[in-house]
Amino acid sequence: MYSFNNDYSEGAHPQIIEALIKTNMEQTAGYSEDYHTENAVTLIKKHIRQDNVAVHILTGGTQVNLTAIAAFLRPHQAAICVSSAHINVHETGAIEATGHKVLSVNTQDGKITPTLIKNVLDEHTDEHMVQPKLVYISDSTELGTIYRKSELEAISNFCKQNNLLLFLDGARLGSALCSTENDLTLEDIARLVDAFYIGGTKNGALFGEALVICKDSLKEDFRYFIKQKGGLLAKGRLLAIQFEELFRENLFFDVATHANKMAIQIKNALLENGFSFVTDSSTNQQFPILPNSLIEKLSKKYLFSINSAIDETTSSIRLVTSWATDETKVREFIEDLA
C-alpha cells in the first residue's frame, strides 16, 4: 500500500535528520533560548525581508492556533472564518476551549472575502453578542485553494478599515507559495497580515510551525502564552535546527515544489481521463470526483480518504502529496486510473 493520505506520513527530509544528528551532543540552553533558535529566527526574518517581527517556533498547528488566538483576543471577542476552517472543524473546539466563539461563514472554495466578513460584522451590533475581532484564513485552504495577492490585499484592507486582526494559518503555506498560480511572497504576507505561521510539519520537518507576529501590540509577553498552553519545548533547539535547514537555503521551497509537482501530475492525468474536481487546486491536495468502482479499485493499492459522496455512483476523494512522495508511485497511480 502506498499512501496519498496526507503530508505527514513520513519523518523528515534527510537534510533535516542530518542536522539533528550533527547537533545532538551539543549542550544548549533550554526553552528556545539557544543560538540555533536565534539563528533560525534571523533566517526566517531574512526570507520575510522584515526585521520588525517576532518569531516563535512551536510544535504543531492546533497549538499555534489556540495559543495565538487566545493571546490576541480579549475574552468577549470572536474569530471569523469559513465553515470548513481547521479551527472550526478539526481542532476539537480548541479555540472555544480558550473561551472564544468561532463565527463561521459558508463558502464553496474554502476562501473568505470582505463581503462575507462584512455580513458577520453587520449581524453583531451590541454587547449582547460577541465582538468579531479576528479573521482567520488558511493558505493553502483545507480545500487546496490559494489566495491571490489581490484577494489577500482586499481582505487586509477591509480588516484594517474595520479594526479587525488578520491571522493566516500556514500549515501548508509552502505548497501555496510554490503553486504556479501563486503571486504572493512571504514578504507580501508579512505586510498584509497581523500574524501568520510557516508550517514545517507538512513541509519536510519532523514537526514545527514558525509563528510570525507582525503587529507590534500582539508581541508582548508572548512566551508566557506559549508556556501556559504547554507549547514551550524543553529542547526547543530541535524546532530551530529544523527551520535552520528549511531556510538556510531554499529547502523549504524545494520540498514544497516537489509536492506540488507530484500533485499536478496526478491532477493532469485525472483531467485527461475526464474527471472533475471539487475545487480547482494548484497545491498538494487534490479533490477529484471519481466513480465508486474506480475508488474501490484504487483503494486496494493506495491509501487516501473519502471526502464526500457526490451521488449514488460517484464520490470525491482527497489525494495528498508531500516532499516525500515517490514519483514512481505517482506514475503507477496514474497508470492505475485507466
Applying the rule CB under 8 A, the residues between 137 and 196 that interact with a copy of itself are none
Binding residue for a copy of itself, selected from 155, 189, 192, 230, defined by CB under 8 A: 230
Sign, CA torsion 30/222/220/238: positive
C-alpha distance from residue 103 to each of 88, 120, 135 (Å): 8, 8, 9
Measured between alpha carbons, how far is 45 from 52 in angstroms, rounded to an integer? 8
Regarding 338 and contact with a copy of itself (CB under 8 A), the answer is: no
By beta-carbon proximity to a copy of itself, the closer residue of 34 and 139 is: 34
Question: Could you give phi then psi for residue 122, rounded to 5 degrees?
Answer: -65, -30
Stretch that binds a copy of itself, among 20-28, 187-195, 274-282, 289-297 (CB under 8 A): 20-28
Min CB(87)–a copy of itself separation in Å: 10
Binding mask 241-260 for a copy of itself (x = CB under 8 A): --------------------
Nearest to 242 by CA among 4, 39, 30, 83: 39
Measured between alpha carbons, how far is 272 from 258 in angstroms, rounded to an integer? 21
Residues numbered 84-103 forming contacts with a copy of itself, rule: CB under 8 A: 89-94, 96-102
Min CB(161)–a copy of itself separation in Å: 19
C-alpha distance from residue 250 to each of 116, 135, 247, 296, 299 (Å): 36, 30, 6, 39, 35
Binding residue for a copy of itself, selected from 105, 121, 130, 154, defined by CB under 8 A: 130
How is residue 246 written as a grid cell?
Answer: 528549511
By beta-carbon proximity to a copy of itself, the closer residue of 234 and 338 is: 234
Min CB(168)–a copy of itself separation in Å: 18
Measured between alpha carbons, how far is 24 from 276 in angstroms, rounded to an integer? 48
Report DSSP state, residue 217: G
Binding residue for a copy of itself, selected from 14, 180, 183, 299, defined by CB under 8 A: 14
By beta-carbon proximity to a copy of itself, the closer residue of 134 and 184 is: 134
Stretch that binds a copy of itself, among 22-30, 47-55, 110-118, 254-262 (CB under 8 A): 22-30
Min CB(187)–a copy of itself separation in Å: 28
Binding mask 279-318 for a copy of itself (x = CB under 8 A): ------------------------x---------------
C-alpha distance from residue 119 to each of 100, 101, 114, 123 (Å): 19, 16, 9, 6
By beta-carbon proximity to a copy of itself, the closer residue of 47 and 142 is: 142
Measured between alpha carbons, how far is 225 from 221 in angstroms, rounded to an integer? 7
Please give the size of the binding site for a copy of itself, defined by CB under 8 A.
76
Residues numbered 59-78 forming contacts with a copy of itself, rule: CB under 8 A: 59-67, 70-71, 74-76, 78
Min CB(303)–a copy of itself separation in Å: 8
Q: Which residues contact 243 (CB under 8 A, 6 or more apart)?
A: 40, 43, 44, 57, 200, 205, 208, 210
Nearest to 173 by CA among 152, 193, 146: 146
- Taking the alpha carbons at both ends of the chain, their separation in whole angstroms is 19
Min CB(237)–a copy of itself separation in Å: 8
By beta-carbon proximity to a copy of itself, the closer residue of 26 and 249 is: 26
- Judged by DSSP in three states, 43 sits in helix
Binding mask 194-213 for a copy of itself (x = CB under 8 A): -------xx---xx------
Amino acid at 203: N
Binding residue for a copy of itself, selected from 23, 162, 185, 265, defined by CB under 8 A: 23
Regarding 35 and contact with a copy of itself (CB under 8 A), the answer is: no
Measured between alpha carbons, how far is 159 from 174 in angstroms, rounded to an integer? 24
